[in-house]
Structure 1
Amino acid sequence: MTSESGRPLSVRLAGAGVDRRSFLKFCAGITATLALPAQLAPRVAYALDQADPLPVIWLEFQDCAGDTEAFLRSRNPTVGDLILGMISLDYHETVMSAAGEAAEKARDDTVARGGHLVVVEGSIPLGIPGSCTVGGQSAENILRDAVRGAAGIINVGTCAAFGGIPAAGPNPTGAVRVEDVVGGVPVVNLTGCPVNADNLTATIVHYLTFGEFPELDGFSRPRFAYGERIHDTCQRRGHFDAGQFAEKWGDEGHRNGWCLYRLGCKGPSTFHNCPSVRFNGGTSWPVAAGHGCVGCSEPGFWDNMSPFYDRLPHVATSGFDLTADQIGIGVLAATATGFASHGVGKVVQHKVAARREKKAAAELAERADSEEETENGSASAGAGGEETGETR
């Protein structure tokens, strides 16, 4: 599955049926996804056109293969275009044609050359080392061997990035995230259950264009994909602000697309670009389909965000002054403490504090004006009485 090198990407893609116009359109779209200025689209196109195919080793451990399924359904370019043009997928248990010793040799040869990317799907079971083996090797040993000489690691899905569902209590396999096993290699976490294939493509394009991963947040996630709360860009946000909530599945509010917060939506505490990028070729995402966000891109979501069909406690949905920010901060405090370290969370905290200070100052000024008017009124009345007495 190794791509042919030595020819520009546009030529290789043309041979696979992808014309120049489609290639440039893809570069413009991926530039927008990366939140880069549109003027950089030609640079992205040039960098991709000249780049050699990037060797990639894709490893699967404790996973459901959902991230591989998402990768196989990438929309633009398709997975075939990716393999033929942008990357050289040298090892992937699910899609590679080689098997047995030939497959292991392909992986080992890539590691020996170095400069490759390691894509990891699934958590690593340190508690039961022999519970996840390939070719007689444990997940831990395979991972340690694969990252030798690697240019970077891309963790696809929440299991590889944070431990995910396998690491949820009581965690019988002792599942851990990739960074608990290996270090010293640049890491980017593309969380979600599953990963959004467009975010994976954009991350690879950024690396090919600039020679490094995109800017990351405190959880090693790209800010272009995880820099905003779902609640802030959700198409149901207007209903939240208007106090319009679905109360039961299938009720009038649910049928009319009202806010799903009271049915357990965790959008106010989840950072992801789901509302804009969406899934299945950009056609939809859970909230658009009528199901609340479960916060699957956040650390420990299975434990911290449950129960999934009940709103998190201590957050009111009446009196909508500062509700969006207050809910975000309230949930951050009520769940994983690590949320508070998120860069955007800090911005929101400062924003809430500033608004509260402004509101308090306004109330204080209003109270002072009221007191001054009362004092002036009393003084005027006293003066009037004195004048009357003098007249008498």
Structure 2
Amino acid sequence: MKDVESLWDLFQKRNVSRRNFLKTCVTITGILGLSPSLISDVVSAAEKQPLVPVIWLHGHECTGCDEAFIRSQSPFASDVLLNMISMEYMDVLAAAAGEPLEHHLQEVMKKYNGKYLLAVEGAVPLNDDGIHCMVGGKTFVHNLKEVAKGAAAIIEVGSCAAWGGIQAAKPNPTKSVSVSDVVSGKTIIKVPGCPPIPEVITGVIMHYTLYGQIPPLDSKGRPKQFFGNRIHDTCYRRPFFDSGMFVEKFDDAASKAGWCLYKVGCRGPETYNSCGNLRWWNGLSYPIQSGAPCIGCSANNFWDNDPFYNRMPNIPVPNTIVNADQVGIVAAGALTAGVIIHGALSTIQHKKHHKETHDTEKDNE
């Protein structure tokens, strides 16, 4: 097992040009949500800081987070795995399997004790002593606790790891819980989503690699640069919401015209994520852009929303709480009031101008 090298060391070893290295650093700066003025700092860190070893465990899940991760476009998943992070253990993508892979895991844990990041995908089933999820003849809850002991920090990848996900949905027969419900005394970063955006996963790992510390977190333990805004705040349909222009049903004219999806169950006003900024498939699209309301997949207990497309009772509007129907009324009222005020001001201005003209003509006489 070789020592972990820096990003620049890897590029040199593989005869990748300095130009491509700098382009990669620019990409990383963008993923991290940093100012372009910090590109030089990112370059310096990428030249010196060793890539942090990563152990990725799988619990009670569908592997959807993996499927999203390997389809990362900016950067490509192959570049992430081979050049940008030191992935030491991940049973889905590992070349080895079975006993050799598990032996390697033990070696990594011993050599990099206190230095590796632990990424966990999936919930933790506790019912019946945890037998509902077994890896290598051991329960997942046992493996999780063992690997977590030497981790510098833990990343909960996806809503299952962060909140319990579909496994924890009612009636939750396996008594599945989030990773943070089982592990304590460790710094935990939540990256929820079903699945999470690939670039967000990479961004969190690269932030720790470059700066040696976790990114700033919000009150729920999510990285602020990716979960600092609601879907509602970055939605390109927001002007229709503010104007009270809503889709009433999926096949109506408003739907075809791209109006706001709030009335047909969009949970964008209460969901925090970067879908509207980063989007998916190299920024190609995201659910709202394809005409589907946000179902709040990065929120806790979203699987228990029945139905998914259930209209929220209230929506937050600056300085008040109103519903969608009232927004339309207020918008229409404001428009009418604006027209009336504009007309009144125009009349006053016209009379003032007429009086000034008349007084000027009188003085000239």
- CA RMSD, aligned part only? 2.2
Correspondence list, 1:10-29, <5 A: 10-13=8-11, 19-29=17-27
Confirm or deny that 1:82 pairs with 2:74.
no
Q: What is the aligned partner in structure 2 of residue 56 from structure 1?
A: 54
Distance in 2 (alpha carbons) for counterparts of 1:14 and 1:256: 51
SS of equivalent residue, structure 1 residue 59: strand
Q: Matched residues in 2 for 1:322 and 1:10: separation?
A: 59
Answering whether residue 318 of structure 2 is matched by residue 318 of structure 1, we say no
2:95 maps to 97
Q: Conserved in 2, the CA contact under 8 Å of 1:215 and 1:222? A: yes
User: Is contact 2:160-2:178 (8 Å) kept?
Assistant: yes
CA distance 1:3–1:112, shift in 2 (3 Å): closer
**Match in the other structure for 2:64:** 66
Counterpart position of 1:162: 163
CA contact (8 A) 2:65 2:157 kept: yes
Alignment-mate amino acid for residue 246 of structure 1: V
Measure the CA separation in 1 of the matches of 2:291 and 2:232.
15
| Corresponding position of 1:262 | 263
CA contact (8 A) 2:51 2:209 kept: no
- Partner of 2:65: helix, strand, or coil? helix
Q: CA deviation at 1:320?
A: 2.5
2:202 corresponds to which letter in structure 1?
Answer: T
Decide which of 37, 40, 43 is 1:42's aligned counterpart: 40
Gaps of 5+ in 1: 324-392
Write out aligned runs for 1:106-117 (5 A): 106-113=104-111, 114=113, 115-117=115-117
Give the counterpart letter for 1:216 in structure 2: L
Deviations 1:160-182 (A, max 9, x none): 01111111111111000001111
Deviation at 1:109? 0.8
- Give yes or no for contact 2:54–2:87 (8 Å, CA) kept in 1: yes
Match of 1:307 in 2: 307
Residue of structure 1 in register with 2:275 after alignment: 274
Structure 1 residue 127: deviation in Å? 1.3
The worse-fitting range, judged by mean Cα deviation, of 306-315 and 163-172 is 306-315
Q: 1:278 to 1:297 in 2, by over 3 A?
A: same
For 2:294, what is the secondary structure of its paired residue? coil
1:22/1:294 CA distance change after superposition, 3 Å? farther
- Percent identity, aligned pairs only, is 41
**C-alpha distance in structure 2 between counterparts of 1:251 and 1:47, whole Å:** 53
2:333 corresponds to: none
Aligned to 1:242: 243
CA distance in 1, matches of 2:275, 2:327: 25
Size of the aligned set, in residue pairs, is 321
1:206 partnered with 2:192: no
SS at the partner of 1:287?
Answer: helix
Map of 1:164-183 to 2, 5 A cutoff?
164-183=165-184
Structure 1 residues 19, 75: CA separation in 2 closer, same or farther (over 3 Å shift)? farther
Residue in structure 2 matched with residue 122 of structure 1 by the alignment: 122
One-letter amino acid matched to 1:191: P
**1:245 and 1:253 in contact (8 A); partners too:** yes
In structure 2, runs of 5+ residues without a counterpart are 316-322, 331-365
How far did 1:24 drift? Answer: 2.5
- Would the aligned equivalents of 1:116 and 1:152 in 2 still touch at CA under 8 Å? yes
- Alpha-carbon shift at residue 5 of structure 1 (Å): 4.2
Q: How far apart are 1:12 and its partner, in Å?
A: 2.1
Using structure 2 for the length normalisation, give the TM-score. Answer: 0.83
**Measured at CA, do residues 17 and 74 of structure 1 come closer, stay the same or move farther in structure 2, by a change above 3 Å?**
farther
Partner AA of 2:21 in structure 1: F
TM-superposed deviation, 1:321: 8.7
4+ runs deviating over 6 angstroms: none
In the aligned structure 1, how far is the partner of 2:17 from the partner of 2:291?
37
In structure 2, how many angstroms separate the alpha carbons of the residues matched to 1:288 and 1:3? 45
Structure 1 match to 2:353: none
Letter of the 1:307 partner, please give it: P
Letter in 2 for 1:200: I
Q: 1:254 to 1:26 in 2, by over 3 A?
A: farther
2:4–2:52 Cα contact (<8 Å) kept: no
Tell me, what secondary structure is at the counterpart of 1:141? helix
Offset of residue 17 of structure 1: 7.5
Report the 3-state secondary structure (helix = DSSP H, G, I; strand = E; otherwise coil) of the residue aligned with 2:89.
strand
**Contact 1:52-1:86 within 8 A present in 2 as well:** no
Distance change >3 Å, CA 265–CA 5, structure 1 → 2: same
Go from structure 1 to structure 2 and tell me whether the alpha carbon gap of 1:298 and 1:18 turns closer, same or farther (over 3 Å shift): farther
Match of 1:151, SS? strand
Structure 2 counterpart of 1:295: 296
- SS of structure 2 residue aligned to 1:131: coil
In the alignment, is residue 228 of structure 1 matched against residue 226 of structure 2? no
1:142 partner letter: N
SS in 1 for 2:201: helix
| CA 40–291 in structure 1, closer or farther in 2 if over 3 Å, else same | same
